[in-house]
Amino acid sequence: MRDDTRKWIEADRAHCWHPFTRQAEWCHPDHEPVVLVRGEGVWLWDSEDRRYFDGNSSIWTNIHGHGHPRITGAIRDQLDRVAHTSFLGFTHPAAAELADRLCGLFPGGEMERVFFSDDGSTAIECALKMAVQYRIQTGEPERRTFVAFANGYHGDTLGAASLGGVGRFFERFRGCGYESLHVRSMEELEMLDDATTGRIAGVVIEPLIQGVNEMRPWPGGMLAELRAWCDRHGAHLILDEVMTGFGRTGAMFACQRENVTPDFLCVAKGLTGGYAPMAATLTTGSVYQAFLGDAERAFYYGHSYTAHPLGCAAALASLDVFEEDQTLERLPERIGQLRTGLAALQSGRKVVHEVRQCGMIAGIELRRPDGSRFDPAARTGEKVCIAARAYGLLTRPILDTIVLMPPLCATGEELDHAIGALDRALEETIDG
Ligand SMILES: *Cc1c(COP(=O)(O)O)cnc(C)c1O
């Protein structure tokens, strides 16, 4: 191990605290963390100069690959002018242009206003607060409950977490945050009585596919049904496109695949192409109107770095790359290659229980050959992902579901490399 690698690992062990991490294991002397130092395209290099395919797009954020000259150039140009200025009381060119471009992605003009924040969680917080304040200002203050779906994930800040449905993350914080109701399906939603539906401010969903819930797609047509249900019951539809936004499902936004427009659209991860923390909550002219008038109607919410200029510059450049590289036009072929490659990986292999795919998002669920789940304590998914590193693939599992979510720019050859690495890791870890 190189001296600098050792130095970074020691400093990390002594002082860093990682997200969703068993720190005692992380800091154990036998655990050697991968120190990532640079990237180009779909590739990342560690401090020992080993190269890896970025198999989960750096925790689902990266769209056009690392070091894309168009995006890094745009960030540098902005940096040469000014790194950060306040969006409270002022505006700046990149934010104004970005808001215009984002609304332009809905050619019917349905999404009219953009509220910027920093992360997926804050994009959700904004939508929830707007939805509650909207009801107060439109004479329905009793509507302050949110409906969310079982096993959904909307972020870790308290409001967003109160809608989360993954027990192991959120159970201990129940009772904090918003009044929320969890349903498993449209059928369960349909069963709610009038007294309940009369208290609902909005319904929150990850459209087309739930991410943290082991990459589970919804039945086709469900989103359109949900839109109709919300319209019938006077509830807002809040779409969490933090994972699905920006081409990930094959369309710019997942909702466009079912011709649905929401009342609130939350985006983050891929907004900047994966280059900077930045988020946006888009909403309609009709919601916005309720915030006009006297001072009390203002939306009292914001962060120090709201509409960060470097993030806005990256986001604008990422949208340019979508056009210049014809990212969406090229996707069907890539999605097909991913499907074919994963089908080959699965064929003749009983431990691959199910492959779930939605666009460039895939979950490969591992089970025992008899179809029962592995003992969670065996951490099979994790072992496979760690083994895959030796073959040049970085990714993380969710329980025993291996996530493969490549940057959208991955070529057929690069996808083959990633699937090949997984194939060898499976062979080495559990086939034998
Ligand atoms: C990642 C994610 C979030 C939270 O975003 P952060 O940027 O991590 O706060 C919310 N919803 C979905 C669907 C996500 O995938």
User: pLDDT tens digits, residue range 126-158?
Assistant: 999 999 999 999 999 999 999 999 999 999 999
Q: Determine the pLDDT at residue 431.
A: 74
Distance from the CA of 268 to the center of ligand 1, in angstroms? 7
What confidence tier does 432 reach under pLDDT thresholds 50, 70, 90?
low
159 Cβ inside 6 Å of ligand 1: no
If you take atom 10 of ligand 1, which residue's CA is the nearest one?
154
Q: Determine the pLDDT at residue 332.
A: 98
Which of 153, 157, 166, 358 to mutate to test ligand 1, by most ligand atoms within 8 A of the CB atom? 153
CA distance 21 to 27: 10
Task: State which ligand 1 atom lies nearest to the alpha carbon of 121.
Answer: 9
268 Cβ inside 6 Å of ligand 1: yes
In angstroms, what CA-CA distances link 154 with 8, 33, 107, 166?
32, 28, 27, 10
CA distance 151 to 333: 31
CA dihedral angle for residue 249, residue 253, residue 256, residue 258, rounded to 10 degrees: 50
149 Cβ inside 6 Å of ligand 1: no
> Strands, E, within 16-153: which ranges?
36-40, 43-46, 51-54, 113-117, 145-149
Q: Determine the pLDDT at residue 168.
A: 77
Q: Determine the pLDDT at residue 128.
A: 98
Distance from the CA of 120 to the center of ligand 1, in angstroms? 4
Q: Determine the pLDDT at residue 61.
A: 98
For the chain, residues classed under CATH 3.90.1150.10 are: 34-64+326-429
Q: What is the CA radius of gyration of the chain?
A: 22
Q: Looking at the structure, give the CATH architecture of the domain made up of residues 34-64+326-429.
A: Alpha-Beta Complex (3.90)
If you take atom 15 of ligand 1, which residue's CA is the nearest one?
243
Secondary structure (3-state) at 202:
strand
Could you tell me what percent of the chain has a pLDDT over 70?
100
Distance from the CA of 294 to the center of ligand 1, in angstroms? 34
What confidence tier does 411 reach under pLDDT thresholds 50, 70, 90?
very high
CA distance 168 to 246: 29
What confidence tier does 169 reach under pLDDT thresholds 50, 70, 90?
confident
278 Cβ inside 6 Å of ligand 1: no
Q: Determine the pLDDT at residue 352.
A: 97
Other beta carbons within 10 angstroms of residue 235's beta carbon come to 24
Which region among 88-102, 127-141, 174-188, 193-207 has the lowest average model confidence (pLDDT)? 174-188
Average pLDDT over residues 195-212: 98
In angstroms, what CA-CA distances link 309 with 32, 242, 280, 282, 299?
36, 20, 13, 18, 22
> Strands, E, within 99-174: which ranges?
113-117, 145-149
211 Cβ inside 6 Å of ligand 1: yes
What confidence tier does 176 reach under pLDDT thresholds 50, 70, 90?
confident
242 Cβ inside 6 Å of ligand 1: yes
CA distance 314 to 276: 7
> What is the CATH code of the structural domain delimited by 69-324?
3.40.640.10
Give tens-digit pLDDT for 43-54.
999 999 999 999
CA distance 299 to 311: 22
Give tens-digit pLDDT for 267-312.
999 999 999 999 999 999 999 999 999 989 999 999 999 999 999 9
Report yes or no on whether pTM surpasses 0.85: yes
Which of 154, 205, 308 to mutate to test ligand 1, by most ligand atoms within 8 A of the CB atom? 154
- pLDDT at 30 > cutoff 60: yes
Could you tell me what percent of the chain has a pLDDT over 90?
95
Answer whether 99's CB lies under 8 Å from 306's CB: no
Give tens-digit pLDDT for 228-270.
999 999 999 999 999 999 999 999 999 999 999 999 999 999 9
Distance from the CA of 61 to the center of ligand 1, in angstroms? 10
- pLDDT at 166 > cutoff 90: no
Distance from the CA of 247 to the center of ligand 1, in angstroms? 16
For the chain, residues classed under CATH 3.40.640.10 are: 69-324
Average pLDDT over residues 192-220: 97
